[in-house]
Amino acid sequence: MANDPAYAHPETLVSSEWLAAHLNDPEIRIVDATYHLPTAKRDPRAEYGAERIPGAVFFDIDGISDPNTELPHMIPKAADFAVAVSALGISNDHHVICYDTHGLMSAARAWWMFRLFGHDRVSLLDGGLPKWKREGRPVDGRPVAPARADFTARLRPELVRSKAEVKSNIASQAAQVLDARSAGRFRGADPEPRPGLRGGHIPGSQNLPYNLLVDADTKVVLAAAQLRAKFAEAGIDPAKPVITSCGSGVTACVLALGLHLIGAGPVAVYDGSWSEWGLPGDTPVEK
């Protein structure tokens, strides 16, 4: 499915050619998991309604989240995730294909969430909607009314980390921490897109902006050797545990994806990320 046979998990990516050939397979479910930062002032659901890959349902990252916190799109309970994706017509037997309008940004969050809740038959469309459209493949805005399916969710706690666990890790150094935000935000030189947050980064963490894992022109994920080089440049040893972080737990999943592709392990995502850590309080910050 993936272009590079050197990936440790080539099934994680599907090409536009593959998806076009399997668009009508009954075992395939396609999800548009587009999300935009609040500062973008864009409505991903409206964009989905106007233009999407035929048959795709909308995976609302904000909607499929914990309603009992003010932090953005924190993971829901397993039972709530099961209800939400069952309503999207997705069962445990389906092969889920995730994409977004960026190429690769928020789709990785949906990919990670499916894996977090026990579903391994999930892939990302390499190059996302930009590559799909560039190749002249079909898009439409016809209504999609999925028949309810039966999805059972089982949380894998090893794939997610809390603030308390990340704080404890500062002293123990049991895992490497890798931040997906831009270099300016990581250094504390550029403002955060959400108000009220301090600038800087988790003490001892390293920085690898998520967009560096894809080709800037084609939006496809870098080859395995290039990914390994990017992580090495960031000071990350893929043979040791890694915790990925970002602004709100979305692009941290892009780093988790890249590490998964090269066979790194174990990798966990700090769900609260900087939206939680950067709040005024008891979390230490480096600049």
Domains in the chain, ordered, with CATH? 10-156 (3.40.250.10), 158-277 (3.40.250.10)
Catalytic residues: 246
**Cβ(245)–Cβ(203) below 8 Å:** no
Which tens digits make up the pLDDT trace of 99-133? 999 999 999 999 999 999 999 999 999 999 999 99
Instruction: Estimate the crossing angle of helix 252-261 against helix 107-116, to 10 degrees.
Output: 70
pLDDT tens sequence across 234-245: 999 999 999 999
pLDDT at 2: 59
Phi, psi of 214 (to 5 degrees): -125, 155
Distance CA 211, CA 114 (A): 22
Reduce the DSSP state of residue 48 to 3 states and report it. helix
3 state DSSP class of 14: strand
Q: Is the peptide bond before 266 cis (omega within 30 degrees of 0)?
A: yes
Residue 243 DSSP code: E
Packing angle, helices 224-233 and 252-261, rounded to 10: 120
- Contacts by 50-53 with C-beta closer than 8 Å and gap 24+? 50/141, 51/139, 51/140, 51/141, 52/129, 52/139, 52/140, 52/141, 53/19, 53/23, 53/99, 53/125, 53/129, 53/132, 53/137, 53/138, 53/139
Q: DSSP code of 176?
A: E
pTM, full prediction: 0.97
pLDDT of residue 47: 97
Parts of the chain with a pLDDT under 50:
none
Per-residue confidence (pLDDT) for residue 5, from 0 to 100? 85
Residue pointed to by tokens 């190429």: 103
Which two structure tokens, joined as six digits, stand for 166? Answer: 């990340």
- State the pLDDT at residue 278: 98
Taking the C-alpha atoms of residue 49 and residue 71, their distance in angstroms, rounded to an integer, is: 27
